[in-house]
Homo-oligomer: A and B are copies of this chain.
Amino acid sequence: MTLTVEERAKVLVEALPYIKRFHGQVVVIKVGGNAIDSARDETLLDVVLLRYVGMQPVLVHGGGPEISAMSERLGLKPTFKKGLRITDEKTMEVVKMVLTGKVSPDLVGAINRLGGQAVGMSGEDGPTIIAEPLDQSLGFVGRVTQVNKEPITALLGRGYIPVIASIGLGYDGHAYNINADTVAAEIAVALDAAKVILLTDVAGVLGVDGEVVAVMSREDARHRIDEGEVTGGMIPKLEACLRALDVVPLAHIVDGRTPHALLLELFTEAGIGTMVTP
Contact = CB atoms under 8 A, between A and B. Distances in A.
Interface of A: 1, 3, 5-17, 19-20, 23, 42, 45-46, 48-49, 52-54, 70, 73-75, 93, 96-102, 104-105, 108-109, 112-113, 115, 117-122, 124-127, 150-151, 154-155, 158, 160, 167, 169, 173, 175, 258-260, 263-264, 267-268, 270, 272
Contacts of A127: 112, 117
A49 B260 CA distance: 21
Give the interface SS of chain A, mostly helix, strand, loop or mixed. helix
A11 B11 contact: yes
A101 B151 CA distance: 19
Given A11-B12, A53-B54, A160 B169 contact: no
Nearest to A150: B158
A103 to B, nearest CB: 9
A169 B111 CA distance: 12
A112 B167 CA distance: 15
Contact of A19 (B49, B74, B104, B155): B49
Given A74-B74, A154-B154, A268-B5, A102 B109 contact: no
A13 B11 CA distance: 11
Contacts of A105: 96, 100, 122, 124, 167, 175
8 contacts: A7-B11, A9-B260, A12-B49, A19-B49, A100-B104, A112-B169, A118-B126, A120-B125
Contacts of A259: 6, 9
A13 B101 contact: no
A93 to B, nearest CB: 7
Contact of A158 (B113, B154, B267): B154
B100 A93 contact: no
Nearest to A151: B119
A124 B108 contact: yes
A7 B1 contact: yes
B96 A108 contact: no
A101 B108 contact: no
Given A102-B96, A124-B108, A12 B54 contact: no
B268 A8 contact: yes
Nearest 8 CB-CB pairings of A with B: A101-B101, A9-B260, A97-B101, A11-B11, A100-B101, A119-B125, A113-B173, A97-B97
Contacts of A121: 119-120
A13 B53 contact: no
Given A1-B10, A109-B173, A52 B16 contact: yes
Question: Which of A19, A23, A105, A109 is the most central at the interface, judged by chain B CB atoms within 10 Å of its CB?
Answer: A105
